[in-house]
Amino acid sequence: MNAVAESLRPYLESYAANSKPLAPALLALKESAMRRAVARGFPGARDEDWKYSSPVALEKRAFRSSATLTRFDAKDLADVAIPGLDAFRAVFVNGRFMAALSELPEGARVTSLSSAGDSLNAALAVPAEWQDDTFLNLNTALFQDGLLLELDASAHIVKPLQLLHVSVLGEIASAHHPRFLLRLAADSRIMVIERYVGLEGAQHFTNAVTQIELAERAQLVHVRLQTESAQGFHVGRVLVRQAAHSGYRSHNLQLGGLWSRLDLHTRLEATGAHAMLDGLYAVGSRQHVDNHTRVDHLAPGAVSEEIYRGVLDGHGRAVFNGKVVVAKHAVKTDAQQANHNLILSRGAEIDTKPELEIYADDVKCSHGASIGQLDEQQLFYLRSRGLDAAAARGLLIYAFADKLLSRLPHPALAAHARRLLSAAVSQISVPEQT
């Protein structure tokens, strides 16, 4: 076995151990994806997109797919619930759909991917531009379950749908590969909360892929909340295709895990498509978080707005790479991008790289990044008004992050995110929202 295959041994063994019968076309799809993963291997130091996020720590751990179902009941579900959030839910535990704990919306077709047949092969196929991505190929080869959500034309689901994936402590260090497909027909709309929770002590690797197709004028609000365990590894792929006048509103929060990476790629394929991307990440101790975003403007008159902010403490490290590509004929494009970072300690580090590639005239595009510390004059002012040092620091950190937290589409989500931020960053006391 060569060095590349050796690094993927746990995943090859998990693939070989899967005895579940598959439809011939799906089996061929999975075999092809595994071959590509083995041929490519994990990215190395020479891969530009992985220059600051070496997966060596992930390679050194032997994560395997578990064949046994882990106990998780209604009481456990209540323990991880977001207070005050009234939402439908599809619950997954260690990569497996838990129908008994789920409450699915009427007015939408929701199908478990554990029984995926030949009709879904085209949707599950790895997109051409991602053929060399080892993590997406591993997900395709190894997913055991997932969900297909389909909305008919003009359907409007009023309550949010929470896709809740929980990683729990098991007998082995486990790998989970959930796959989600969201298809919204013309004029339909929904809010989806894609949430990843790692219970205390869980040693796991979550490798998740979400594919989104938005037809004409479809509107999706997509909240992605990653709070994996302190020993958890997380890699995510969000791939979006947008038709004319569709709207994609992304709220991406990365507030947990030992090592995490998210690639979010949206393609604005027709006139009037609109994407708004908000992102907040917080790292402390020796956490590592990487956000790579890409927005492809492929048609005239599309709009994208992106704001990512990071709070870094301890010896935490963060990476941000935001790329906007404006195609040759995508005139009248409006693309704005910004990344701002707050450094709280000497040991924290951020690598930020906003990028623009513009091949068209008559466009309006901007990008920028900033890295700074708490303002000593502002701290002095707050101290002079009677606040102690910790309260003054907390208030300024809260003000920096709340520009994005206040834009979350549900008050219960915003309150929950504020609590998570307070727990993620030392010496911060986040005020309650009134």
What is the tens place of the pLDDT at every residue in 259-288?
999 999 999 999 999 999 999 999 988 999
Closest CA to 209 of 141, 282, 298: 141
Give the residue from 196, 192, 189, 194 showing the smallest Cα distance to 160: 192
> H/E element holding 74?
helix 74-79
What does the pLDDT look like over 379-388, one tens digit per residue?
998 999 998 8
Cα–Cα distance for residue pair 39/47, rounded to 1 Å: 15
For 309-331, the three-class secondary structure string (H helix, E strand, C coil) is EEEECCCCEEEEEEEEEECCCCC
Sequence-ordered alpha helix ranges (H) in 94-144: 121-124, 134-142
| pLDDT over 80 at 431, yes or no | no
**What's the pLDDT band for 221 if we cut at 50, 70, 90?**
very high
Name the band, by pLDDT with cuts 50, 70 and 90, for residue 428. low
User: pLDDT digits over 299-353, tens only?
Assistant: 999 999 999 999 999 999 999 999 999 999 999 999 999 999 999 999 999 999 9
Q: What is the reported pTM?
A: 0.94
Amino acid present at 217 = R
pLDDT at residue 300, as a whole number: 97
First to last CA, the chain: 60
The distance from CA 432 to its chain's CA centroid, rounded to whole angstroms, is 26
Percent over 90 (pLDDT), the chain: 74
CB atoms within 10 A of CB 97: 19
User: What is the 3-state secondary structure of 205-250?
Assistant: EEEEEEEEEECCCCEEEEEEEEECCCCCEEEEEEEEEECCCCEEEE
415: enclosing H helix or E strand:
helix 411-424
Joined together, the tokens standing for residue 6 give 């050796």
Query: CA-to-CA distance for 160 and 239, rounded, in angstroms?
Result: 20
pLDDT at 294 over 90: yes
Q: What is the DSSP letter of 58?
A: H
Q: Are 164 and 131 in contact (CB under 8 A)?
A: no
Residue 135 · residue 237 · CB < 8 Å: yes
CB distance 262 to 225 below 8 Å: no
Helix boundaries (H) for 371-410? 376-384, 389-405
**pLDDT at 198 exceeding the cut of 50:** yes
Distance CA 180, CA 115 (A): 14
Q: Which residue has the tokens 């895990």?
A: 257
pLDDT at 167: 94
Q: In the structure, what pLDDT confidence band is assigned to residue 423 with cuts at 50, 70 and 90? A: confident
Distance CA 228, CA 230 (A): 7
Q: Are 270 and 301 in contact (CB under 8 A)?
A: no
Q: Residue 131 carries which DSSP code?
A: T
Q: How many residues does the structure list for the chain? A: 434
Question: DSSP of 4-57, one letter per residue?
Answer: HHHHTHHHHHHHHH------HHHHHHHHHHHHHHHHH-S--TT-GGGTT--THH
- Distance of alpha carbon 35 from alpha carbon 11, whole angstroms: 12
**Bridge partners, 260 (sequence order):** 234, 289
3-state secondary structure of 377: helix
